Amino acid sequence: MFECFMSVTRVLDTLTIWVAGGTCVIALCNFWTNRRNTKIQNMDIPIHLILIGSNATKNLPFTIKRKHFTRSEVQGVLGAVFNGKERYDIPFLATQAFSNALEDVQNNQSNLLEITIQDKETFDKFHPLSNKEATND
């Protein structure tokens, strides 16, 4: 009977070692996956404006981290660099294509947001603020 007990104990010890080793491997895989996902979520995403019908593009001076990349953040950045008396009017922002582009950035399928603008006058009103303009009210 003692030998039977010792045999069961050896089997349980071996099983415990294998389960602990497997758990360690799973924990390491989870650690590396989380580390990679954190790097992806902290990536800065640039925004480019494209004037339809010409080769003109503008790179906005602000980037947004992927984890904060939402419609409201994008519109906040656009509002910060728009120098018009009224609010900007970009029909593209109300399209399914814009929603799809946002979703692509959020799902790590794109590392850039391109916003198309039809009106040259609106396009020309987007420009970055200099440090002097940004500090003066």
Confidence of residue 133 (pLDDT cuts 50, 70, 90): very low
Residue 93 has pLDDT above 90, yes or no: yes
Which amino acid, residue 94? A
Which residues does 46 contact at the CB level (< 8 Å), separation at least 6? 59, 60, 63, 112, 113
Q: Domain-by-domain residue ranges, the chain?
A: 1-41, 44-135
pLDDT in tens, 52-66: 988 888 888 889 999
Residue 136 has pLDDT above 50, yes or no: no
